[in-house]
Structure 1
Amino acid sequence: MVKVMRAALNVATVASDPEGFLRRQKDLFGDPVVVRVPGSGRMVISGKPEAARELFSGPLELFAVARPNMVEPLLGPGSLIMIDGEAHRRERRLLAPAFHGERIRGYGETMRAATVAQVAGWQAGQTVDLLEFGQQVTLRVIVRAIFGVADETRGARFAAATAKLLHGYSAKLVMPAYRNTVGRLGAVSRLRARLAEFDALLTTEIEQRRASGVEGREDILSLLLSARYEDGSGLSDGELLDELRTMVVAGHETTATTLAWALYHLHREPDLAARLADELAPLGDHPDPADLAAQPYLGAVCQEALRLHPVVPIVARQLVGPWRYQGVDLVAGDTAAVAPSLLHRNPEVWPEPFVFRPDRFVERKPKPTEYVPFGGGNRRCIGATFGEYELRVVLGSVIAAARFSMPADDRARAVPRARPTNITLGPNRALALRFDGVVSR
């Protein structure tokens, strides 16, 4: 009875503290955690490496995109995130060349320059909102990478439209009861208007690129316009809009959040920031992006930020037929899932799991079933390589160029918990540092 009462109270925390909810349910009932999803069946959620292995190597013919899905109203039904089966395989193959490692490294100088430009606008002594900083830099990068837009005015229009689109976005919009009542007159109508405004910008870019041609261009839009399926056809206008919207929205929000967490933890323990600065010092005032990305401790800091603060709460597969997962017999409509926050804080895999300790990634390389910040299997995030590279280049560039400090009172506070913010999990309070000035050598 006590367990049931505690579980009932815990349910009330899902929206504000989803990671804590899962952790408390696991403590009460063990792993896997079984929950009921409104409008769907059961969801069986695990934080064990063997569950990740089971899920990522499971029978693809039985798996579909889990619904309701919080990002579908924003990204659209044609987004790679929202399609499955043969359609997913075909589209992933079509998109993959745009995210090839060598091509991504070509954006390194754009990433470094965007970071340095942001730092140049600061004054010593000012407070820097880390999430805002990350969003400004990564949005500038993604707009340049996708569209090849160097014009600051056009870039600013995209930045404003993206911020407006994401502002106030809520997972409630996927719930039928909400969409069919209050939402129809309020939030849903606002979202539709913002999507129309955003898509108008995308459509203008598409039309201009088609008119000017894609010959000799390396931006992602040009690559997608020239990409062809096996039968010689290309993306439809609707598919193209959904994929571009996905890249702009998801391609900067996730990296920006992880960057903010990394900067926060580095300066909560100043010795960590000093160690990273020492590693980067030999690279000079204008470090080459490729050299930054190759630094071992910088890479470990980025990986540890992704481990401790995964931006995606659940990696899920919805069943279209019966399947046994982690000892639980599932039926069509049920969902099998891995929770990165449970897996990444599993003490059997990660000693002192709640401590930010980058050295754990220096000491050993985790198995793919122990560390899943970008998911896994055939649905692993197609932009993972881009995100990892950008995170290293931007974090390395800002640490090489600037010095920050965190007041002692802020260092003494508990680490913020994660809550849903737009389409990811983010800190439930602002992450901020004092900018002490640029590095002088």
Structure 2
Amino acid sequence: MKLPNSPEMPKFMQLLQWIYNPLQLMEASAKAHGDCFTLWLTNKQPMVFLSNPQAIQQLFTTPLEQLDARASAQLLQPLLGENSLLLLSGETHQRQRKLLTPPFHGDRMRVYGDIITNITKEVISNWKIGEPFSVRDSMQEIALRIILQAVFGLHDGERYTQLQKRLCGILDLTGSSLRSTLSFFPSLQIDLGRWSPWGNFLRQREEIDQLLYAEIQDRRDHPDLSRTDILSLMMAARDENGESMTEVELRDELMTLLVAGHETTASALTWALYWIHKLPQVREKLLTELDNFGDNGDLNEVTRLPYLTAVCQETLRIYPIGMVTIPRIVKTPLEIGGHQFAPGTSLIGCIYLMHRRPDLYPQPEKFNPERFLEKQYSLYEYLPFGGSNRRCVGMAFALYEMKLVLATVLSNLDLGLVDNYQVKPIRRGVTLAPSGGKWLIATARHQKTKNSVEV
């Protein structure tokens, strides 16, 4: 079976470009070979990138018996653990997903609304009028504090402080393309003591594990049925055999929620604030919608505002935090998009290229929230959270958080971009993130109209 075409460069160079300039690699490959091409990013199997809606639909609807997602996500195993939902496959994945889904059901979101808005207000109250600040740092602080309160039910104390510190530390180890190299080259994963990159990672991971297991044990020793945090709900969940998650399973899923729910949301919020203040017409339209919203105390109504929703959707389209779907490895001969694939081939839905198709998104490089007010996209055309049985289990929570944080910030402060600053996409671990810098400035407290939103 002949593989789709691949860039004319050595495999090693393909991997280096994937680490340091993934967008250029994908764009050049698509320009040369269309919406189905092969990259060699590991020594084990070819990786076929798909960015055609029909091909994505076939990929997402292929029976689970023919595809395996477990072996292809091992890049994340050292941090998340073997029992992470992202690394499981088959019946084990289905069991774990069922156990994790209830805490993120839409009806439960209102429980977390006050947590989200209160934390946001606390963080932005420290922004000084007239002084540029790092948006990413602030959004990371907001996202992490929300995760620690909503997921763990931790508000303060030594364990809260230590977890916050250790998680920021371990995530910074992959905070650039250069640092991400460690994840892609197992040969560099050598423990030469705390001052070596891998040794530092292992020790920080061990310190985080001790904190997580201590919290889990405390919950077992002192059960409290009144708690509504996600950890409590996870511990109370039972599968169809009446069995709960083990401590190791809880630890790995907590790490998954902490990493996936913290890093990704911080990046999305940073991008949103950049586009909102880079484009005056977007900012004015959004502020008008927020100011005209009647304050009835229902945070859920805020998250249903159409233009706010469209801004969030467009933010996740133009530079999706996850550039690709979780790879699926072919187990039995398979045909997708007119191509025959042999067992061992890794199939990847390319979210970035899908979101840049001019036939679906005219002028795809332009930030245009109106496109989501004018058209409803299918699950195979717009997929910032992946798709099928691999779609992000925390999608509803992430969108709810994103909308409430933006509404709170914009309803309380007038902000401006510093000197037409340019923010660019960079690799951060396995995600696509905005570059850093102090590029936003608070110019005044926002003057609300009579009907404006209070969040």
TM-score, normalization: structure 1?
0.93
Structure 1 residues 6, 187: CA separation in 2 closer, same or farther (over 3 Å shift)? closer
1:95-129 CA distance string (max 9 Å, x none): 11111111122101111111111111111011121
Q: Which residue of 2 aligns with 1:251?
A: 261
1:228-286 CA distance string (max 9 Å, x none): 11111111111110001111111111111000001001111122112111110134789
Q: Which residue of 2 aligns with 1:109?
A: 114
Equivalent positions of 1:112-261 (< 5 A) are: 112-151=117-156, 154-169=159-174, 170=180, 172-179=182-189, 186-261=196-271
1:192-218 CA distance string (max 9 Å, x none): 111111111111211211122131211
Equivalent positions of 1:335-346 (< 5 A) are: 335-346=346-357
> How many residues are aligned here?
435
1:135-160 CA distance string (max 9 Å, x none): 11111111111111222654332211
**2:416 is equivalent to residue 405 of structure 1:** yes
Give distance in 2, aligned partners of 1:142 and 1:180: 31
1:96 is aligned with what amino acid?
Answer: T
**2:110 is equivalent to residue 80 of structure 1:** no
Q: Which residue of 1 aligns with 2:368?
A: 357
Structure 1 residues 318, 113: CA separation in 2 closer, same or farther (over 3 Å shift)? same
2:442 is aligned with what amino acid?
Answer: F
Give distance in 1, aligned partners of 2:12 and 2:169: 36
Structure 1 residues 91, 409: CA separation in 2 closer, same or farther (over 3 Å shift)? closer
Q: Which residue of 2 aligns with 1:385?
A: 396
Q: Residue 27 of structure 1: which of 22, 31, 35 is its match?
A: 31
Judge which range, 281-290 or 295-304, deviates more: 281-290
Q: Which residue of 1 aligns with 2:42?
A: 38
**2:302 is equivalent to residue 292 of structure 1:** yes
Q: Which residue of 2 aligns with 1:420?
A: 427
CA contact (8 A) 2:128 2:442 kept: yes
Give distance in 1, aligned partners of 2:211 and 2:132: 33
Structure 1 residues 421, 128: CA separation in 2 closer, same or farther (over 3 Å shift)? same
RMSD: 2.3
2:381 is aligned with what amino acid?
Answer: E
CA contact (8 A) 1:123 1:437 kept: no
Give distance in 1, aligned partners of 2:10 and 2:186: 28
Give distance in 1, aligned partners of 2:382 and 2:221: 44
Give distance in 1, aligned partners of 2:233 and 2:11: 50
CA contact (8 A) 2:19 2:181 kept: no
Structure 1 residues 83, 208: CA separation in 2 closer, same or farther (over 3 Å shift)? same
1:425 is aligned with what amino acid?
Answer: L
Identity %: 33
Q: Residue 323 of structure 1: which of 329, 334, 340 is its match?
A: 334
CA contact (8 A) 2:11 2:41 kept: no
Q: Which residue of 2 aligns with 1:96?
A: 101
TM-score, normalization: structure 2?
0.90
Give distance in 2, aligned partners of 1:241 and 1:300: 35
| Unpaired segments ≥5 residues, structure 2 | 1-6, 175-179, 449-455
Q: Deviation at 1:332?
A: 2.0
| Unpaired segments ≥5 residues, structure 1 | none
CA contact (8 A) 1:125 1:434 kept: yes
